[in-house]
Amino acid sequence: MKEHSPALVLNADFRPLSYFPLSIWSWQDAVKAVFLDRVNIVSEYEEEVSSPTLSMRLPSVIALKQYVPLSRRPAFTRFNVFLRDRFVCQYCGGAPGASELTFDHVIPKSLGGHTVWDNVVAACSECNLIKGNKLPRDCGMVPAVAPIEPTNYQLQSNGRLFPPNYLHESWRDFLYWDSELEQS
């Protein structure tokens, strides 16, 4: 079961390096980083790995010893546009899934629009076809949220809304420690 024992990777400030995709390493990479003295083990699995001279429990949560700063601006990628828009079509509000999403130029390129953060939105294929090469005012299709360049913090915050398929219980404290608590 070692192949199902990834380690959650935290920055030196004990926050995940990334929420979406979640920053995880294979157990082999985690063990290697431990031996190279690049990380501290924060939590461990019950499972062990052994060599002829050493036995150790597999790390489930590790923290980098040196802080890795986030880049100042997020990369302008299709995935980050979808993440900014929370994988929702900005025209109809549908959430068809990442494989069915496209991106749409609010002001079409043929009408002078550019491929930049504030002119591109997530759109389902159907809405993209209906809108076509028209301006929002000409077809009555206005994005639900005006497109802007997000901050890394906004993308990380949106990433928390999409938990990965696998979450070990030892990870929960580090993934949701800064979430708002429910009041009773």
Q: How much is the CA Rg of the chain, to the nearest whole Å? A: 21
In the three-class reduction of DSSP (H, G, I as helix; E, B as strand; rest coil), residue 36 is classed as coil
What's the burial of 89, exposed, middle or buried (CB within 10 Å: 0-12/13-18/19+)?
A: buried
How high is the pLDDT of residue 15?
A: 87
Contacts of residues 179-182 at CB distance under 8 Å and 24 or more positions apart, as own/partner, are: none
Decide if 18 contacts 156 (C-beta within 8 A).
yes
- The answer to whether 49 and 58 are in contact (CB under 8 A) is yes
The predicted pLDDT at position 74 comes to 87
* pLDDT in the model for residue 181: 45
Which is more confidently placed, 12 or 160?
A: 12
95: left (phi over 0), alpha (psi -120 to 50) or beta: beta
Taking only the tens place, the pLDDT of each residue in 47-96 is 999 999 999 999 999 999 999 997 778 889 998 999 999 999 999 999 98
Euclidean distance between CA atoms 154 and 23, whole angstroms: 17
pLDDT digit string (tens) for 98-154?
788 999 999 999 999 999 999 999 999 999 999 999 999 999 999 999 999 999 889
pTM (predicted TM-score): 0.70
